[in-house]
Amino acid sequence: MRITIVSKNTFFQHALASMLAQENMTVAGQFDDLKALMKGQSICTADVDVLIIEDAAPCTKRLFADLATLHRRKPLLKSLLVVSQVDAAFLSALYEAGCAGCLLSNIPPSAMSHYIRLAASGQRVLPDGAADMLRQLLQEVTPSANVKELLSKLTHREGRVLGHLLKGSPNKLIASDLQLPITTVKGDLKSIMRKTGAANRTALAVSVMKQGLAGAVHSAAH
């Protein structure tokens, strides 16, 4: 498994690289910040499985925008953020940007490899207390009407797009899997949000799962 590390903290870089080596993971690159990585374009061509980003400063909209751009360029890449604190809004922005998840900076180093493998296998990685945060997010942005009733109003193609969205697929990968133009996927997502009243992808996904409809939506995706 090949890992790339982004951090201004050289101690973090070296300590993580040493630990990963003991777990038979290869560090393919180390960068001070995300812009340096993206400028080099190496992440777009290298066979990297997971990107670890450690950010001691509060995450900004610019960071999430850069992450979204990165995941559009390399949709199969899994990224994990290591941060000092999180809240519901942060988790929403994180998943909107296409990240696999995040970890708190106080996580024991010995546990890092476990979460990296989870991310590489396509699993979501959530920090402690994430369940409460997702409940808070759901309360803040609950769709305006019954999701089951509204889902019945989706077109067949919109149902397939939604099924792939629930798997965590970014727009580019959805377009590839369904053999649709990326503009069509974006248009369908806007239509789905409008019909359900969901404020964003995360709120929609949580609402569908809460009402036990994920299985039906996944079936419609095929």
Any domain includes 27? yes
Domains in the chain, number: 2
Whether residues 121 and 145 share a domain: the answer is no
Q: Report the alpha-carbon distance of residue 49 to residue 30 in Å, rounded.
A: 14
Q: Which of 64, 98, 128 is the last residue before a domain boundary? A: 128
Identify the pLDDT of residue 96: 83
- What DSSP state is assigned to residue 170? -
Q: Give the torsion sign (CA, 186, 203, 54, 48).
A: negative
Q: Kindly report, residue by residue over 158-167, the tens digit of the pLDDT.
A: 888 888 887 7
Long-range contacts of 13-19 (CB under 8 A, 24+ apart): 15/109, 16/52, 16/109, 16/112, 19/109, 19/110, 19/112, 19/113
Q: Report the alpha-carbon distance of residue 2 to residue 219 in Å, rounded.
A: 33
Whether residues 101 and 20 share a domain: the answer is yes
- Confidence label for 211 from pLDDT (cuts 50, 70 and 90): low
Mean predicted lDDT score pLDDT of the chain: 78
Identify the pLDDT of residue 221: 47
Distances (CA, A) of 21 to 1, 99, 192: 10, 24, 44
DSSP code string of 99-142: --EEEETTS-HHHHHHHHHHHHTT--B--TTHHHHHHHHHHHS-
Identify the pLDDT of residue 207: 64
Is 138's pLDDT higher than 70?
Answer: no
- The CA-based angle 101-124-51, given to 5 degrees, is 45
Whether residues 46 and 99 share a domain: the answer is yes
Is 218's pLDDT higher than 60?
Answer: no
Q: Which of 65, 95, 128 is the last residue before a domain boundary? A: 128
Distances (CA, A) of 136 to 60, 91, 131, 206, 209: 21, 11, 9, 11, 15
* Nearest partner of 121 among 76, 58, 180, judged by Cα: 76
Any domain includes 133? no
Q: Which domain holds residue 121?
A: 2-128
Any domain includes 206? yes
Q: Provide mean pLDDT across the span 211-215.
A: 50
Structure tokens at 21: 């080596």
Whether residues 156 and 188 share a domain: the answer is yes
Whether residues 40 and 123 share a domain: the answer is yes
CATH number, domain of 113, equals 3.40.50.2300
Whether residues 16 and 73 share a domain: the answer is yes
Q: Report the alpha-carbon distance of residue 195 to residue 190 in Å, rounded.
A: 9
Whether residues 63 and 151 share a domain: the answer is no
Q: Kindly report, residue by residue over 46-96, the tens digit of the pLDDT.
A: 578 899 998 766 667 788 888 888 888 888 889 999 988 877 778 778 888
Whether residues 12 and 85 share a domain: the answer is yes
CATH number, domain of 152, equals 1.10.10.10
